[in-house]
Amino acid sequence: MQAITQSAARAFWVTTGTTGLIEAQIDKHRAQFVSLAKRLLCDYEHCKTLDPQHFEGTYEPVPLVATRLNLINYDSDQFSEPGLLTLCLYAGYLTRRESTSVCIPNHEVYQVWLQLFARAVMGTEMADNSTNYTRGALLQQLWRGQTDLLCMLATSSHGVLSNHNKYSEKDYANHVANTLMAVSRFGVLTHPKQKSVSISHVVPIRENHTGIGRCDYAMRLYSSNNQANQFGVIIEFKLISFDKREEYAQHQELAVEGLGQIVSKNYDACLVGCLERMDVGMAIGNSVVHTKHQLFRRKTVDSAWYPVDTLVEAHPL
């Protein structure tokens, strides 16, 4: 034991009884960990869901062939996916599905990975707070045309995205998409009348099939009258550059531009079957966010959209 504690052996001595090892990898290699954790979560959810079409992400197993040579150096600055998978396997946070792949073993460990994923995406404080929101908290705000919680989640980048001007609209769109994936698993996008949280309550649209181009992010949610996939949300991002972060008038102009782009380019074409919709133009960058939004409703899937102030008056909870 004395030899193990010597500095020469420190790089190979880790505690596997807690998630400290995984958390250390989050701190050093956040982007790579987010990608890996998302694949593991989606793989587990796909195996457990009874409705695979209501699913985000790849269905492919996470590969891990050999483990003997995959030992990870605890103090290394280089990310090793096989190394992290191997140590998680030995620590009990993963199990073998077959000889060439690993997976999350059960629901209890799934919850651990979900929390770690949320912390990697949003930061520890925001992720921990997300578990305390009431069922459907974000969904009910969106029905009412409110974006306070959405904006808070969109800027949950403390320790995740640095405050500099190297990030693009796509980077922020990916961050918001990952954030919504994480918090949806805590029930904030689940209809309040639903008895349990299910991934089928939130359906991100991967192939947007829009009239002109592609919107940055779109998803189908439960409508205000508890109908699956009938409430669509479209978000178009506009980047606030670092030297403009104090110019609030321009933030509003960018948000208005994003909102107008959704209409002018017919992005709502991806919301096939939806009877309710919310368009959001989001100006974002350097921990600053400003939104402009509009709610719509239509009587049938073939009829024209008309603007409304709220979606809950006709179908009170």
Q: What is the DSSP string of 206-263?
A: SS---SSS--SEEEEE--TTS-TT-EEEEEEEEE--GGGTT-HHHHHHHHHHHHHHHH
Closest CA to 307 of 317, 297, 293, 292: 297
**What angle, rounded to 10 degrees, do the helices at 169-184 and 30-48 form?**
40
Residues 42 and 85 in one domain: yes
Residues 149 and 240 in one domain: yes
- Could you report the per-residue pLDDT of 59-71, keeping only the tens digit for each? 578 888 766 555 6
Domain count of the chain?
2
pLDDT grade, residue 49 (50/70/90)? low
Residues 51 and 153 in one domain: no
The answer to whether the pTM exceeds 0.85 is no
For CA atoms 128, 134, 137, 139, the dihedral sign is positive
Distance CA 309, CA 144 (A): 7
- Could you report the per-residue pLDDT of 195-224, keeping only the tens digit for each? 777 666 677 765 444 445 678 889 999 998
Mean pLDDT of the region 272-286: 91
Mean pLDDT of the region 281-305: 91
Residues 142 and 98 in one domain: no
Residue 118 lies in a domain: no
Residues 104 and 232 in one domain: no
Please tell me which residue, 17 or 188, carries the higher pLDDT value.
188
Residues 109 and 162 in one domain: no
Query: Is the pLDDT reported for residue 127 higher than 60?
Result: yes
Q: What is residue 102's predicted lDDT score, i.e. its pLDDT?
A: 92
Q: What is residue 279's predicted lDDT score, i.e. its pLDDT?
A: 97
Distance CA 180, CA 117 (A): 12
| Final residue in a domain of this structure, among 78, 113, 148 | 113
Residues 15 and 52 in one domain: yes
What whole-number percentage of the chain has pLDDT above 70? 78
Residue 129 lies in a domain: no
Residue 84 lies in a domain: yes
Q: What is residue 35's predicted lDDT score, i.e. its pLDDT?
A: 87
Mean pLDDT of the region 63-87: 72
Residues 10 and 158 in one domain: no
Does residue 282 contact residue 258 with C-beta atoms inside 8 Å? Answer: yes
| Final residue in a domain of this structure, among 113, 148, 179 | 113
Residue 127 lies in a domain: no
Residues 48 and 197 in one domain: no
Most confident of the ranges 27-36, 72-81, 228-237: 228-237
Mean pLDDT of the region 21-28: 76
Does residue 97 contact residue 106 with C-beta atoms inside 8 Å? Answer: no
Residue 103 lies in a domain: yes
Mean pLDDT of the region 85-94: 87
Residue 119 lies in a domain: no
Q: Mean pLDDT, the chain, as a whole number?
A: 80
Q: Give the 3-state secondary structure of residue 28.
A: helix
Please tell me which residue, 277 or 187, carries the higher pLDDT value.
277
Mean pLDDT of the region 261-288: 90
Residues 91 and 41 in one domain: yes
Query: Is the pLDDT reported for residue 260 higher than 90?
Result: yes
| Final residue in a domain of this structure, among 58, 79, 113 | 113
Distance CA 317, CA 315 (A): 6
Residue 12 lies in a domain: yes
pLDDT grade, residue 50 (50/70/90)? very low
Mean pLDDT of the region 78-89: 84
Closest CA to 259 of 288, 232, 294: 294
Please tell me which residue, 172 or 212, carries the higher pLDDT value.
172
Residues 228 and 85 in one domain: no
Residues 109 and 195 in one domain: no
Residue 48 lies in a domain: yes
Domain that holds residue 73: 2-113
Distance CA 181, CA 176 (A): 8
pLDDT grade, residue 84 (50/70/90)? confident
